[in-house]
Amino acid sequence: MSSSTTPPSSPFLPGPGPHPETGPPPPPPRTAAVIPAAGRGVRLGPGAPKALRTLNGTPMLVHAVRAMARSRAVSLVVVVAPPDGAAEVRTLLDDHALPSTTEVAVVPGGSTRQESVSLGLAALPADITDVLVHDAARPLVPAETVDAVAAAVRGGAPAVVPALPLADTVKEVDPRTDGGPETVLGTPERARLRAVQTPQGFNRETLARAHEKAAPEGEGATDDAGLVERLGLPVVVVPGHEEAFKVTRPLDLVLAEAVLARRRATDGF
Ligand code: C5P
């Protein structure tokens, strides 16, 4: 058979069957979300681990799992629990209604976010081709943002981040820990900066390679796309969403509850 008779194919779409020269077609895409939720959340003040704090009576983690499961692209959610809290997190999830179409697994995490994500990746079944990594601390990300990230990965991008332009001007400083005044080193051009959110989406192999390479370097990156950048691979941006903000400080809890109240008022959600 001449190659001109072979229909065009995408590496992310099921092909017409085994090709005589290139072997079997690639597997159909299957997307999992990994939710690192093992942080203590010290900046929120004393209390339960951040992911287990409630928003309108429901733990932040449950909101985050629902946000991932609401995307039709996501068929599996892996929650990375505090190292000594996997059983507690499993019980908590079992006590809340979650979409029955999405499988939810729980694994124990590590001492850094990077380690927690690596442990989540290691727990993925072999047929997962694409991975979204989503902070439990961003419980209100809308489904449209999750869908946009998943679609860009299925479209062939090795790494995708949702991001927004900045409202504040950003200064680079010489950091001090003694409370003294810090010296400004420079002012990056604001128009070229973006605030990056999650879920960040990846071709699974790319993300696994990025984590393997990063592991010996210790503390590492504050986001997963940063590890892919270190491999020299392209990372692309899709529009983020203002409701995908990270709950970090006490005021963020107030804002998150206000967003939930607005959703309930506007669409009964
Ligand atoms: O500390 P930060 O806000 O950057 O944490 C981002 C996310 O990483 C949170 O959802 C937190 O639970 C998670 N994390 C983790 N394991 C750690 C530290 C943070 O899963 N050891």
Q: What is the 3-state secondary structure (H, E, C) of 141-181?
A: CCHHHHHHHHHHHHCCCCEEEEEEECCCCCCEEECCCCCCC
Q: Give the closest residue (by CA) to ligand 1 atom 19.
A: 39
Intra-chain end-to-end CA distance of the chain, in Å: 55
Nearest CA to ligand 1 atom 7: 135
**CA of 175 relative to ligand 1 center, distance in Å:** 22
Q: What is the mean pLDDT of each run of 10 residues along the chain (269 residues)?
A: 43 52 83 93 76 93 97 96 94 94 95 94 98 97 98 97 98 96 98 98 98 74 92 97 96 96 83
The model's pTM = 0.89
**How far is the C-alpha of 28 from the C-alpha of 8, rounded, in Å?**
16
Q: Where are the domains of the chain?
A: 31-171+192-267
Question: How high is the pLDDT of residue 219?
Answer: 61
pLDDT of residue 250: 93
> From the CB of residue 51, how many other CB atoms can be counted at a distance below 10 Å?
31
Ligand 1 binding site (Cβ under 6 Å of any ligand atom): 36-39, 50-51, 80, 109-113, 116, 135-137, 248
| Residue among 107, 111, 135 to mutate when testing ligand 1 (max atoms within 8 A of CB) | 135
Cα 29 to ligand 1 centre (Å): 27
pLDDT of amino acid 8: 46
Distance from Cα 14 to the centre of ligand 1, integer Å = 36
Residue 189 pLDDT = 98
Q: Could you tell me if 247 and 139 are in contact, meaning their C-beta atoms sit under 8 angstroms apart?
A: yes
CATH architecture for the domain at 31-171+192-267: Alpha-Beta Complex (3.90)
> In Å, how far are 171, 193, 250 from 190, measured between CA atoms?
10, 5, 27
